Every structure is written in C-alpha cells, then in structure tokens.
Structure 1
Amino acid sequence: MSRTDLTIAERIQSQLDTLTRAERQLAHAILENYPASGLGPLSALARDAGVSGPTVLRMVQKLGYSGYPDFQAELREELRAKVKSPIAKYDNWAEGAPSGHILNRFTEAVIDNIRHSLAQIEPEAFDAACALIADPDRKVHIVGGRITHTLAEYLYLHMQVIRPGVTHIQSTSNTWPHDLLDAGPGDIFVIFDMRRYENNTLKLAEMAVARGAQIILFTDQWRSPIHALAGICFSSRIVVPSAWDSLATPQLLVETMISAVQGLLWEDTRRRMETLEEMFDQTKLFRKFT
C-alpha cells in the first residue's frame, strides 16, 4: 500500500469506536460490500448508506484522507494489489529491498503480519467460530484453493481426529458439487481463499449458503469476495519479501483453532485418539523403540 500498511477496511475497523452514529452506519455500509461500495460517486455511497454527503466527507477525513477522490485512489490501489501476479509481487518488493539477510527481513515481515492481524481479530468472533466447529450436531466441511488447500488439509487432518462429521472438499475438483448433496442448514463450511481469489471457491460458497450452511472464512487483508457471504471472517496479513504470499499468519490461526476445539471436546477427543492409537499399533504404522 502506498501510504500505510493498513487497508481501508482495517482502518475503519480500528476506528469504529471513534465514529459518530451516522459515521458508523456509513462504515458498516462500506464494509458490507467492500471495496466496491466506495468506488462509485460520493452521492451514491451516501444514498446507499442512508447518510448525508458531509458525513461521507467527515469520515474519510477521519481515516486520514484529504477527500473522497483521495479515498477512492487508495481503494483502487488495493484492487490492483489484490490481483498481482507472483512476478509483480517480486518486482514490487525487490525494487526497494533494504539491506540485510533475507532470514531477518522475512522473519520481521511475518512477525509484523501476525501483530497486525491479531490486532484486527475479535476474540469473541474466534471463540464463536471454535464453538460452531466443536458443535457435534453440526457437520463441518473444509475447503481450500490451489495454494490454500495445504491449510485446509492440515485443519481437516486434525479435526477428523478431534470429532466425527468432518469432510474435506477439493474446490478445484469437478466432483465438489457431489459434496454439497448432503449439505444443509446448520452445516459449517470452513473456507480458505487468499488472493488471487478462485471462482470455483466463490461458487461453492454461494451454493453452500443457498443450502442454509454457514461460512467461516480465512482470507487476506484485502478480503475474498466470499466475505460478503461469511458469518465469521478472519483476515490475515500475507505480504512478505517474496513473489509468494505468506501463509504463516493463517497457519497460526488454524493451529490455535485446533487447540481450542480440542479443548472444548477433550473427553470425546481423547477417546477417539486412544482408538486411533490402537489402530496405529495394529497396522504398525509408526516405529516403537520400547
């Protein structure tokens, strides 16, 4: 980003408590259809949010912009960042790369990503997501994309041990509509979608919601289009000195979620683990040294 490491959505969320009632109404309207909501004329945004034009101007100035055109310019820059290819990402950071070993620079970027991301996540929302996933009366479906399937598989492997009723859906496969056949009200879809957002994953999310399911979304700081469908959304900062984005922060959230859900279901999980260990012994999957 040009002027700050924070996206406009992150700025809005961090300043909600300082806004007036009308400004908060406007802020929620912007976030509801972000970033498209702020790309039209000022009058259209004011009308859609049910506020006055001066309210729009006051709020964008509180966010640090000189006026509405300045605010829109930053939104357009965010949109360009959303669709950057790995080559463009590499060129962007390599041009002004500071001196120092890549180990240090990369680590500092990851730590900064974690710090910023955790500051934007409400503990109550995280607890609510864990409670939904731990609910034995709900089926849980876990979905990832071309790169984020690694996060989905990691979460699935652990949740499959922790509780029954968990499925892993391959969003890039032409068989994923089969997985929706038995999905219905009360089901939970945990979806991972980072930039460059995948059309298949969006379509799957739309169809899941149409069947009455709820979505827990793991996405990046610019937020996948799926965020408009999600009941709970966790945005992680992912930019590092690389042609590729970092999954370190969402991986941290996933591992924390595994720990939390395991704690909520520990007695049942322990019994499942004991049964699984007996199976491992029978199959001699792991070496034993005693």
Structure 2
Amino acid sequence: MPDRRPPPSLSARLAGARLSPALRRVAELLLVDPRAIAHGTVASVATAAGTSPPTVVRLATALGYPGFGGLRDAAREELGMRLATDAVRARTPLPDDPTEARRAAEHDVIDRTLDGLDPPAVATAVTLLDRDGARCWVLPSAQTVGVALRLVDQLTIIGRRAVLLDGSEMRVMSTMAALAPGDVVLSMDVPRHEHALVRIQRAAVDQGALPIVLTGPPGQGLATEGGVVLPFTTATVGPFDSLVGLTVLTSLLVDALVERRRDLVAARLAALERTWTGAGLYEA
C-alpha cells in the first residue's frame, strides 16, 4: 500500500536535521525570517545569511528538497502559517459584538471538529487507549498543557494508566525511559509544531510507542506509523487559537472509554465519591 502521509513540514525537517555551522546559519534565517527565503533568490538568501550560494543549495538538499525551489515553496507555506499566528491576529480589532462573535466561533469550532472526524480513526484511538497493561503517555505542546492535564486526570480516574509528559526536554526524555513497546504516546498541539515536541514524539515512537496524534491543521511533522491522527479545528476571533475543539475531542475519547467499561468505571467513581465526601473535602 502506498504511503499517503503528507511530507514532513519545513519545521519538522529543521527539528530533525543535523547541520554543519554553515548550513545552520541559513536554517536560522528560515526560523527567524522565512520571508527572506520565501521571496528571495539563492544569491539574496546567501547574502542575508552571510554565507555562499552553494551553501544555500546544500541546505535544501540536506532537508530533503530537490533544490532551492522546493525549499522556497516550503518557506512560503511556513510564512503562510505565520500570517495566522497570535501576533498577527492580535492586530485585528474584535467585532462590534465580541460575545456573539465568540459564541458563533466556538460553535463553529465544535461543529467543524466533530464533522471532520473519521469514525474508524476514532475507534482505533479508543482501542489503543483501552488495551490492558498499556500506559498512555500524554505529550502536550506548551499551549495545550491545560487540556492534557485534564485528560490525564480523567484517564486516571476511570482506571487507565496515564502519564503527563511536561517540563524541560531533558526531564521528559528521562521520564520516558520507562516507556515500554506497545504503550501509547498521545500528542496534542496546534499549528506550528514545537521542535522539542517533534523530537520527543519521534523518540517515543522509535521506542515502540503507538502514536495518537491530536492536532490542529496542518499537522504534518509528527510520526504516525502504527497509530492514528485525529484533527481538530482551532479557528478563533481573538489572538489565541481556540482549544474548544481539542477539549471536545479528548472528552469524546474519554466518553468512549467509559462506555466500554461502564460497570468498572461506575464502581471506581462511587468509591472515589465515598472517599472525597468521607474525608470532608466538600462543603455541606
């Protein structure tokens, strides 16, 4: 069967590349000012990076592009993504009725997220999460840590083994030393993958973890072999990406797990409720 996965994004290629100092100078220009490459020539990019034209072409080849034209096209895609970032959206005034605009936007996020799901893919994700003995390693981007923490809490409450991978890259990689083949790595992020998340997720899959990728579009940079991708919508009327679609998606997964083990989950929740109320944790 042919591999129909989209090619890795420019950011993902940069994150995984081992480059010489000369190539790194051009790569840093890509990260800081993709416009210089998106609208440049080999000569202009070499001048901006303080290097030679052959070095620019060598970077394109090192990143897996057939030539400078492929690198320039990738830089244009990267630039297009950055034009919709928080910093750009913050300059756009809110609508006259921000409350209604927010209501409409978040309703649309929910509809587009749920309408865009592939039921067999959701079923595959639930099956991966429901396997006895398998641990779920939840790997969020910086923006999605709050949703990840809630998911780990809920998975733990219903009796699944879940670990939140948060903190420095060194801390996360050290924690992952306990990862076993057949475990699940559930990553969640919005557009523009963080380089550390790409590296950590790749390392987990290389260790034998099965990936569940929850991602806002385009989501091209993460490993998917043996696993599944579930997209969610991040459209917003303000500066920051909406996480409502991601929250709905994680809730959908938890609900499906509960349905599979309803009697056991009900018993666990009843026991926890007795513990919470018996210890006087709630006000009367």
TM-score normalised by structure 2 residue count? 0.70
Amino acid at match of 2:180: G
Q: Does 1:272 align with 2:268?
A: yes
Q: Give the number of equivalent residue pairs.
A: 225
- SS of the equivalent of 1:226 reads coil
| Percent of aligned pairs sharing the same letter | 16
Higher RCO (CA-CA < 8 Å; seq separation 6+)? 2
1:51 maps to: none
* Alignment root-mean-square deviation, CA: 2.8
1:79 maps to: 78
| 1:132-281 correspondence runs (5 A) | 132-172=128-168, 174-223=170-219, 225-226=221-222, 228=224, 231-281=227-277
Is contact 1:205–1:229 with CA below 8 Å preserved after alignment?
A: no
C-alpha separation between the residues in 2 aligned to 1:228 and 1:122? 16
Amino acid at match of 2:264: D
C-alpha separation between the residues in 2 aligned to 1:233 and 1:197? 15
C-alpha separation between the residues in 1 aligned to 2:152 and 2:184? 13
- SS of the equivalent of 2:178 reads coil
Moved more, 149-158 or 102-111: 102-111
Is contact 1:130–1:261 with CA below 8 Å preserved after alignment?
A: yes
2:6 maps to: 32
Encode CA deviations 1:104-125: one digit per residue, 9 max, x unaligned: 2222222223333333210111
Gaps of 5+ in 2: 11-37, 39-63
Gaps of 5+ in 1: 1-23, 40-47, 49-68
Q: CA deviation at 1:206?
A: 1.1
Amino acid at match of 2:254: I
Is contact 1:187–1:212 with CA below 8 Å preserved after alignment?
A: yes
| 1:102-113 correspondence runs (5 A) | 102-113=98-109
C-alpha separation between the residues in 2 aligned to 1:211 and 1:177? 11
Q: CA deviation at 1:183?
A: 0.8
| 1:8-27 correspondence runs (5 A) | none
Q: Does 1:89 align with 2:85?
A: no
Structure 1 pair 101/134, CA: closer, same or farther in 2 (3 Å)?
same
Amino acid at match of 1:240: T
